[in-house]
């Protein structure tokens, strides 16, 4: 199990990560979901030993990163946000290089290299210099590098950015498969859908903090039982606010000029009565949608801002 306790990291006066704690169990996929600058890469960099934490404690199955860095690092695999491959080397050579660094040798190394090439679907192209690969193929090779030595913990930093749907599906399948074999997976993303689909538990991160964590049901429960009514139109926030505030069962999830998200209680007819009250005040509404609580409304409620896919 990965255990992160009270992790903080500053760059000068900027607190990129502020006192976060979480655990990732064997076989579990834990997602850190947050927008640009949330602190995801900083967190990953501290866990893989690239950055020294300002404070906090990081352990994997009781091995402490601070006092036993070499033993710790041998047990983890990292798939960095920026692709890190040697372009003149083939896929097989890249994997052999990283496998050797992780302590694999001889036929055990060759077996693992062949196995991960199969897993990520690159076996047939394994002898070409990887600079000839497409973006999606490089991403897949980057992923293979992180898992060649069968780590107990795999750190994945936005591994699906900038690739097509097919390559993304392939990567998500590979990640699920690794977790099924018992590896603990820490996965960062700013894609709501990906977090929702892939992760067993999600930590919602913004401005260096984890605001809430849990499985999807738990997170949805934080927003309430009700439905989410989204309104768009030509209205002013100041005009809508008092109309909504008059009904104390309705909560404002977010409100700005022209866009509102309201949390409506789950009673029958409640949505239509809220809507007719708003329309009765002559507010101009162009677009209405009603949804069950989702990760987007959870994110909005907890952080006060929207995270768009």
Query: By the criterion CB under 6 A, which residues form the site for ligand ATP?
Result: 11, 14, 16, 34, 36-42, 81, 190
DSSP conformational letter for 303: H
Distance CA 197, CA 207 (A): 24
Nearer to ligand ATP, 36 or 276 (CB): 36
Q: How many other CB atoms sit within 10 Å of the CB of residue 75?
A: 17
Nearer to ligand ATP, 42 or 119 (CB): 42
Nearer to Mg ion, 32 or 145 (CB): 32
Q: Which does 16 bind (CB under 5 to 8 A by kind): Mg ion, ligand ATP, none?
A: ligand ATP
Nearer to ligand ATP, 46 or 143 (CB): 46
DSSP collapsed to 3 states, 16-71: EEEEEEEEECCCCEEEEECCCCCCHHHHHHHHCCCCCCCEEEEEECCEECCCCHHH
170 binds Mg ion (CB under 5 A): no
In the complex, the smallest distance separating the C-beta of residue 88 from ligand ATP, rounded to whole angstroms, is 27
Are the CB atoms for 236 and 257 separated by under 8 Å? yes
Are the CB atoms for 115 and 57 separated by under 8 Å? no
In the complex, the smallest distance separating the C-beta of residue 111 from ligand ATP, rounded to whole angstroms, is 34
**Contact positions with Mg ion (CB under 5 A) in 86-115:** none
160 binds Mg ion (CB under 5 A): no
Q: How many other CB atoms sit within 10 Å of the CB of residue 140?
A: 25
Q: Which does 209 bind (CB under 5 to 8 A by kind): ligand ATP, Mg ion, none?
A: none
45 binds Mg ion (CB under 5 A): no
Task: Give 205's strand partners.
Answer: 210
41 binds Mg ion (CB under 5 A): yes
Name the site residues for Mg ion (rule: CB under 5 A).
40-41, 81
């Amino acid at each position: 199990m990965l255990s992160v306790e009270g992790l903080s990291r500053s760059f000068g006066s900027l607190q990129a990560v502020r006192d976060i704690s979480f655990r990732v169990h064997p076989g579990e996929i834990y997602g850190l979901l947050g927008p640009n600058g949330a602190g995801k890469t900083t967190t990953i960099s501290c866990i893989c030993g690239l950055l020294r934490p300002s404070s906090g404690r990081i352990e994997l199955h009781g091995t402490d990163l601070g006092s036993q860095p070499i033993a710790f690092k041998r047990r983890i695999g990292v798939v960095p946000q920026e692709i890190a491959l040697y372009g003149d080397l083939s896929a097989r050579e890249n994997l052999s290089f990283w496998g050797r660094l992780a302590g694999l040798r001889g036929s055990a190394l060759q077996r693992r290299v062949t196995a991960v090439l199969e897993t990520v679907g690159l076996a047939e192209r394994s002898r070409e210099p990887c600079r000839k690969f497409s973006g999606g193929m490089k991403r897949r090779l980057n992923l293979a590098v992180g898992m060649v030595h069968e780590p107990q913990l795999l750190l994945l930093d936005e591994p699906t950015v900038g690739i097509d749907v097919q390559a993304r599906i392939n990567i998500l399948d590979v990640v699920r498969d690794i977790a099924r074999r018992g590896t603990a997976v820490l996965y960062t993303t700013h894609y709501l859908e990906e977090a929702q689909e892939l992760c067993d538990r999600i930590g919602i991160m913004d401005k260096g903090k984890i605001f809430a964590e849990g499985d999807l049901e738990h997170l949805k429960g934080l927003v309430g039982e009700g439905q989410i009514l989204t309104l768009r139109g030509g209205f002013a926030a100041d005009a809508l606010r008092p109309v909504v505030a008059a009904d104390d069962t309705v909560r404002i999830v977010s409100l700005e000029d022209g866009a509102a998200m309201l949390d409506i209680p789950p009673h029958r007819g409640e949505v239509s009565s809220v809507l007719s009250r708003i329309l009765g005040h002559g507010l101009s509404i162009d677009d209405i949608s009603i949804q069950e609580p989702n990760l987007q409304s959870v994110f909005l409620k907890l952080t006060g801002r929207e995270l768009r896919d």
